[in-house]
Structure 1
Amino acid sequence: MRAQRRAIQTITIWVKRQPPKVKALMAVVAGMASLVLLRAVVHDHDNLFVAAEAVHAIGIALLIYKLTKEKTCAGLSLKSQELTAIFLAIRLYCSFVMEYDIHTLLDSATLLFTLWVIYMIRFSLRSTYMDDKDNFPIYYVLAPCAVLALLVHPSTSHNIVNRIMWALCVYLEAVSVLPQLRVMQNTKIVEPFTAHYVFALGVARFLSCAHWVLQVLDTRGHLLTALGYGLWPSFVLISEIVQTFILADFCYYYVKSIFGGQLVMRLPSGVV
């Protein structure tokens, strides 16, 4: 185990010494290698999307455990949870009126868990809520996403309102974690359960992104045509990629902390 830690520390030090362009290239190569591995191992790529939703649900379960057992919501962003509830509610609405399937049931469960977390933060554990650290203005997220949804949305045969709501859901999901990252940026110290939750979000976002990318490759681009025409298909993929890269830096330091035997993450300046 010590030899493994020394090897990881050596690699970490080497990576830190590399210029930003080299680090970016390494991240891209690692992502592509992961996609190739997933394509070879997972034959039905729809399972990746189900796995993403399951990992998200696990992350929410960790939060509920933290709130109920430790009786504190310190380090958690209420605004991120509210944004999550909003996009899940919109996605559920779209599922019921556009395409009801297994994902509707999974989203229903995740929404209920998220609403429970919001209730705990707002009422039961309000005294431990770090209101001064959760200072990311929520309208910085809602307003741009709403405008973008009005401008770029699916071109399917569904009602225009439903199509705009669908687009709003996709865009909100891509940036809903930003308030949580701001809280961690303000505190610089991330306790274990919050770190596990955000890492679970990062894994879920990567699996979801991998699902869309591999589906496009498998259908040789025909999936983009099925999503409609214009800018919308490209924006769906861009949103998935944005979600992944927003959390990539945090996930790197999370893995580094875990292998380094640290129970509490300490983020350096400039991270997230």
Structure 2
Amino acid sequence: MGRRRGSAVNKMFIWVRKQSMKVKIFLGVACFMSSLLGLRFLVKDINQFFVASEFVHAAGILVLIYKLTTQNTCSGLSLQTQELTAIFLAVRLCCSFMMEHDIHTILDFATLVSTLWVIYMIRFKLKATYNEDLDDVPKYYLIVPCAILSLFIYPHTYHSHLSKISWAFCVYLESISVLPQLSMMQKTKMIEPSTAHYVFALGVARFLGCAHWIIQVYESAGAYLFLLGSGYFWLPMVLLAEAVQTFILADFCYYYVKSVVNGQLLVSLPPV
């Protein structure tokens, strides 16, 4: 029975692979909307999506820690992505101390400490196994645009101007922080399990974050888009940032699930 089920799923992946880009996009959107509908009926308090998202991200970091401590190698991991992650987490943690003081603050602190440990291991303890030549996306290419955008589009709240700009910067940087890791994986083609689990966890986390905003907009008939914002653009930009990262990770998640279904330990990406 298990083999038949696996064979049927594998045939489905092969069928999807053969379809045109328009059909693939339609199927992707259909799956995304179906998942949103299912989540809406299963979860009563949609604010829990953010907590779940942060838990999944933290779980992904724990997978990396397990890899680094048991395998003594950081091969395939992007230091650039880890440092970008540490930057937006550190800034968001400062904002959280001033603006929230809740479960999000605790989760961000734990994730930041774990990320800093991963950075330390890559930079110093396991430097000999780091593929620096493949991790070549300059951080400032991503940081500078996010910083400039945050000066113009940020939440309109009662907090300090610096806090509002900093929070916007975190949202924008988080949405593209995974790009160096994806670029590195595209060059290697074969991704070992721990790295694949980590990136898949990021994909799930971003899907949950995106689901929160979409459901909020839907249930308010669009009015939620304009509740806060500088020039009415803040919440639309948040939704766009979440959608961008979800889209960026969607293709990898497809191949990850396909590899798991086929019982493969390594995730294989197609040529560009």
Q: Using the TM superposition, give the Cα deviation of residue 226 of structure 1 relative to its aligned residue in structure 2, in angstroms.
A: 3.5
Q: Using the TM superposition, give the Cα deviation of residue 222 of structure 1 relative to its aligned residue in structure 2, in angstroms.
A: 4.5
Does residue 1:266 correspond to 2:257, yes or no? no
Q: Distance in 1 between matches of 2:39 and 2:7?
A: 29
Q: Distance in 1 between matches of 2:16 and 2:253?
A: 15
Q: Distance in 2 between matches of 1:226 and 1:82?
A: 33
Q: Distance in 2 between matches of 1:240 and 1:233?
A: 11
Mean alpha-carbon deviation: is it higher for 88-97 or for 58-67?
88-97
Mean alpha-carbon deviation: is it higher for 234-243 or for 145-154?
145-154
Q: How does 1:133-212 map to 2 (within 5 A)?
A: 133-212=134-213
- Tell me the C-alpha RMSD between the 2 structures: 1.2
Residues 194-213 of structure 1 deviation map (CA, whole Å, 9 limit, x = unaligned): 00000000001101111121
Q: Distance in 2 between matches of 1:25 and 1:78?
A: 35
Residues 133-174 of structure 1 deviation map (CA, whole Å, 9 limit, x = unaligned): 101111110111111111211222322221111110000000
Q: Using the TM superposition, give the Cα deviation of residue 52 of structure 1 relative to its aligned residue in structure 2, in angstroms.
A: 0.7
| Matched residue type, 1:267 | L
Does residue 1:110 correspond to 2:136, yes or no? no
| Matched residue type, 1:211 | H
Mean alpha-carbon deviation: is it higher for 28-37 or for 222-231?
222-231
Residues 62-108 of structure 1 deviation map (CA, whole Å, 9 limit, x = unaligned): 00000000000000000000000000011111111122221011111
TM-score, reference length from structure 1: 0.96
Q: Distance in 1 between matches of 2:108 and 2:217?
A: 23
Q: Distance in 1 between matches of 2:222 and 2:96?
A: 24
Identity of aligned residues (%): 59
Q: Distance in 2 between matches of 1:243 and 1:119?
A: 26
Q: Using the TM superposition, give the Cα deviation of residue 3 of structure 1 relative to its aligned residue in structure 2, in angstroms.
A: 0.7
| Matched residue type, 2:269 | L
TM-score, reference length from structure 2: 0.96
Q: Distance in 2 between matches of 1:42 and 1:74?
A: 38
Q: Using the TM superposition, give the Cα deviation of residue 9 of structure 1 relative to its aligned residue in structure 2, in angstroms.
A: 1.8
Find the counterpart in structure 2 of residue 237 from structure 1. Answer: 239
SS in 1 for 2:260: helix
Does residue 1:218 correspond to 2:219, yes or no? yes
Q: How does 1:79-94 map to 2 (within 5 A)?
A: 79-94=80-95
Query: Are 2:56 and 2:202, in contact at CA under 8 Å, matched by a contact in 1?
Result: yes
Q: Using the TM superposition, give the Cα deviation of residue 14 of structure 1 relative to its aligned residue in structure 2, in angstroms.
A: 1.1
Q: Distance in 2 between matches of 1:67 and 1:157?
A: 43
Instruction: Number of aligned residue pairs: give it.
Output: 270
Find the counterpart in structure 2 of residue 9 from structure 1. Answer: 10
Q: Using the TM superposition, give the Cα deviation of residue 18 of structure 1 relative to its aligned residue in structure 2, in angstroms.
A: 0.9
Q: Using the TM superposition, give the Cα deviation of residue 262 of structure 1 relative to its aligned residue in structure 2, in angstroms.
A: 0.7
| Matched residue type, 1:230 | Y
Q: Distance in 1 between matches of 2:175 and 2:218?
A: 22
SS in 1 for 2:75: coil
Where in structure 2 are there 5+ consecutive unaligned residues? none
Residues 109-138 of structure 1 deviation map (CA, whole Å, 9 limit, x = unaligned): 000000000010011101100000101111
Q: Using the TM superposition, give the Cα deviation of residue 47 of structure 1 relative to its aligned residue in structure 2, in angstroms.
A: 1.4
